[in-house]
Amino acid sequence: MRVSAQDGCNDKSFHIRGTITDGTPTMIQANGLSKQYNGLNALDNISFSCEKGQICGIIGHNGAGKTTLLKIIAGLIRPTSGTILVNGHDIVADPMAAKNSLGYLPEESRLYDTMTVHDYLTFFGQLYGLSKETISGRESQLLAALELNPDGKKIGNFSKGMRRKVAIARSLIHDPSFLVYDEPTSGLDPMTSRFIIEYIKELRSRDKTMVLSAHNLFQIEEICDCIMILKRGQMIAMGSIQELRDRFGTLTYTIYFTIPDPGPVAAIASVNRDAGMFHTIAADIPEMNAITSVISAHEGRVERIESHYPTLEEMLFKIGS
Ligand code: ATP
C-alpha cells in the first residue's frame, strides 16, 4: 500500500505511525532521536515516520542537523538517545539486517580514485555478498540507466558529475529498497542535476523509498511527498508541501492592470510597472477586492490576476535560521 502525500505524513503528533493497513511496516520509525556533540544539541527529540514508496525531504539552514539525521538513519553514527527502526530493524541493535536493504549516498563522493568503475562496483557488491554474475548484471543496468560510459578509465579521471553517478551506482549495487541521499545534486551543473532528479523520480516509480536532503528547495518541492523542516536540531514541522503551505504560508494575488493614472491605486498598495502594464500584490481576497474596486472606479481595467503559493524557500526564510 502506498500512502498519499496528503495522509502520508504530517506533524500533528510527531509520533511514530505504527504499521499501515496491509501489515507492511513503515520504512522508518524514529522515536525521540537526539544527538549531542560535546554538549551541542545537533538533534533534539526527533520523532517521525516515513512510509514505503515515499520520498521524504529534509530541509533546514546550514548546521540544522540534516546530515546528522541522515547518518543516524543510515547507521553511520549512533543517536545519543532515541530509537530508529529501518524496514523493521533497529539500526543500532541490528545494523547488518537494516543495512542490507539500505543504500547511502554521502554529501561528498569520496571514491577510490585508482580503481575503475567495474572494480569499484565489484568491490562493494562483494561486500554485500553478491556473486560476480549478479554484480556484472547490476553494473550493466546501472551504467545504462545513469548514462555512464566509464570506458575502462580510473575514477580519478572522472568529472564531478560522473563521480556523483558512480556514487549513486554504488548506493544501488545491492538493489536496496531504501535510499538515504545527502545532497544528491550538490555542486553539479544544471544538466547533470536535472538528470539525477529525473533518475530519483524513476527510482520512486520502482517503489524505492528515499530520505534525502537538498539545499535546492525547488527540487525538494518537485520530488518529495513529505518534507521535514529542521531548525537548530529541532523538527519545526513535517508534512506535504500543501500542509506546510497551510501552516507557514499564505496565498497572495498579483493583479495586472491598465489605468490612465495609477495614483489612486498607489495610495493603497505598492504599484510596479512592467512591459506596459501595472501590477500590485494583494495579501488576501478582501485586499484584492479593494484594489480592483479602485482600479474600476478610476477608468482602469484589470487584465489578469495570478495567485501565488509561497515557495519552500519563502517559507524557510520566514521560519528563520
Ligand atoms: P549543512 O547544511 O551545512 O550540511 P547540516 O544541516 O547537515 O548542515 P549537520 O552537519 O548535521 O548540519 O550539523 C549539525 C550541527 O552539529 C552543526 O552545528 C555542526 O557543527 C555540528 N556537528 C556536526 N558533526 C559534528 C561532529 N562530528 N562533531 C562536532 N560537531 C558536529
- Compute the distance from residue 67 Cα to the ligand 1 centre, in Å: 7
Which is the closest atom of ligand 1 to the Cα of 71? 11
Torsion of CA 225, 194, 252, 239, to 10 degrees: 20
The residue whose CA is least distant from atom 29 of ligand 1 is 37
Mutate to test the pocket of ligand 1, among 62, 231, 235 (most ligand atoms within 8 A of CB): 62
Write down the pLDDT at residue 105: 95
The closest residue, in CA terms, to atom 27 on ligand 1 is 37
What's the pLDDT tens digit per position in 266-276?
Answer: 999 999 998 88
A 10 A CB-CB count for 81 gives 12
Query: Strands 102-105 and 178-182: what pairing?
Result: parallel
What is the spatial distance between Cα 164 and Cα 153, in angstroms, rounded to a whole number?
15
- Which atom of ligand 1 is found nearest the CA of 183? 4
pLDDT for residue 259: 96
Residue 158 to residue 164: CA distance in whole angstroms = 10
pLDDT tens profile 282-303: 988 899 999 999 999 999 999 9
Q: How far apart are CA 235 and CA 174, in angstroms?
A: 32
Protein residue with least CA distance to atom 26, ligand 1:
37
Pocket test for ligand 1, best of 40, 108, 236 (most atoms within 8 A of CB): 40
With cut-offs at 50, 70 and 90, classify the pLDDT of residue 154. Answer: very high
Q: How far apart are CA 58 and CA 66, in angstroms?
A: 6
Distance from the alpha carbon of residue 112 to the mean position of ligand 1, in angstroms: 25
Q: Which residue has the cell 550538490?
A: 186
Query: Is the Cβ–Cβ distance between 218 and 193 less than 8 Å?
Result: no
Model pLDDT, residue 279:
97
Q: Whose CA is nearest to atom 19 of ligand 1?
A: 63
**Is the pLDDT confidence value at 264 over 90?**
yes
Residues 165-219 have pLDDT tens digits of: 999 999 999 999 999 999 999 888 888 999 999 999 999 999 899 999 998 888 8
Per the DSSP assignment, residues forming a β-bridge with 274 are 277
* Cα 64 to averaged position of ligand 1 atoms, centre (Å): 7
Name the residue at shortest CA distance from atom 20 of ligand 1.
63
Q: What is the pLDDT of residue 35?
A: 97
Question: 91 near 84, Cβ under 8 Å?
Answer: yes
Tell me what pLDDT residue 9 has: 53
State residue 14's pLDDT score: 33
Which residue type occupies 232? Answer: R
Higher pLDDT, 197 or 246: 197
Q: What pLDDT sits at residue 278? A: 97
The structure's pTM equals 0.81
Distance CA 253, CA 65 (A): 35
What's the DSSP call for residue 305?
A: E
Q: How far is the CA of 212 from the centre of ligand 1 (A)?
A: 16
The mean of the pLDDT values for the chain is 88
Instruction: Output the pLDDT for position 6.
Output: 37
* Atom 2 (ligand 1) nearest CA: 62
pLDDT of 202 reads 92
Instruction: Work out the burial of residue 184: count CB atoms within 10 Å of its CB; fewer than 13 is exposed, 13-18 middle, 19 or more buried.
Output: buried
Which amino acid appears at position 128 of this protein? Y
Q: What domains can you pick out in the chain, each with its CATH number?
A: 3-248 (3.40.50.300), 252-319 (3.30.70)
**pLDDT (average), residues 89-107:** 91
Specify the long-range contacts of residues 133-137, CB closer than 8 Å, at least 24 apart: 135/173
**Ligand 1 proximal residues by C-beta, below 6 Å:** 37, 40, 42, 60, 62-68
pLDDT in tens, 301-317: 999 999 887 888 888 88
Report the separation in Å between the CA atom of 63 and the middle of ligand 1, taken as the mean of its atom positions: 5
Give the pLDDT band of residue 136 (cuts 50, 70, 90): very high
Amino acid at 110: R
How far apart CA 148 and CA 140 sit, in angstroms, is 10
What is the pLDDT averaged over residues 4-23?
A: 38
Q: Report whether pLDDT(1) > 60.
A: no
